C-alpha cells in the first residue's frame, strides 16, 4: 500500500466514526445510574408459597419510589380506598382509626446500593412505618426496560415473593 491509500483509508475511517451515533460509541450507563430518579407505582403483588396471589395495597395502588444518586431513598405505597379519618385534627383521631388507615399503607426510607453483576438493589431501612424493619435490609432483583422497573424479593415471615412494577415519573 502506498502512502496515499493509507491516508485515504484513515480519512474514511475517521469520517465514518464521526457519523456513528454517539449512543453507539458511548458506554451504557451503569444500573445504578439508570435507577436514579423518581418512580410511580403501577402494581404490587404478593405470591404465597402455595402460589396464591394477593394485592396488599389493592388493585390500583398508589406510590412513589425516589432513588437519589447519593444513595438515599424513600418508598411510600398506599391503597387509594383506605378508610378516611373522622377528623383532620390529629389530636381527635383514635388509635383504632389510625391503625385501620395504616393497614393499607407502607413507608420506609434509608440508603440503597446496587450489585451490578447480580442485578440486585439493596435497601437498608433506617426508618419505617413498621418499626421491626428498621435496621434490616431487603434485597430485590431488578429488571429494567426503558421506563419500566420491575422489583422482586422474598417476603419476610410467611415466605413467598413480592413483585412491584414502577414507571419512571415524568
Domain spans in the chain, listed from the N-terminal domain onward: 29-168
pTM value is 0.80
CATH fold of 29-168 reads Lipocalin (2.40.128)
pLDDT in tens, 62-95: 999 999 999 999 999 999 999 899 999 989 999 9
pLDDT in tens, 91-141: 999 999 999 889 999 999 999 999 999 999 999 999 999 999 999 999 999
Query: What SS3 string covers 5-59?
Result: HHHHHHHHHHHHHHHCCHHHHCCCCCHHHHHCEEEEEEEEEEECCCCCEECCCCC
pLDDT-derived band at 26 (thresholds 50, 70, 90) equals low
Amino acid at each position: 500500500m502506498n502512502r496515499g491509500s493509507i491516508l485515504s483509508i484513515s480519512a474514511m475511517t475517521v469520517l465514518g466514526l464521526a457519523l456513528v451515533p454517539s449512543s453507539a460509541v458511548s458506554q451504557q450507563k451503569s444500573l445504578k445510574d439508570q435507577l436514579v430518579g423518581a418512580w410511580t407505582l403501577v402494581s404490587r403483588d404478593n405470591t404465597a408459597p402455595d402460589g396464591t396471589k394477593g394485592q396488599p395495597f389493592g388493585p390500583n395502588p398508589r406510590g412513589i419510589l425516589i432513588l437519589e444518586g447519593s444513595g438515599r431513598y424513600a418508598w411510600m405505597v398506599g391503597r387509594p380506598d383506605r378508610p378516611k379519618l373522622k377528623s383532620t385534627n390529629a389530636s381527635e383521631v383514635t388509635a383504632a382509626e389510625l391503625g385501620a388507615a395504616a393497614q393499607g399503607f407502607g413507608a420506609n426510607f434509608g440508603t440503597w446500593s446496587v450489585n451490578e453483576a447480580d442485578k440486585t438493589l439493596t435497601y437498608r431501612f433506617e426508618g419505617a412505618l413498621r418499626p421491626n424493619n428498621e435496621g434490616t435490609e431487603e434485597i430485590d432483583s431488578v429488571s429494567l426496560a426503558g421506563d419500566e422497573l420491575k422489583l422482586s424479593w422474598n417476603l419476610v415471615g410467611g415466605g413467598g415473593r413480592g413483585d412491584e412494577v414502577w414507571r419512571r415519573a415524568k
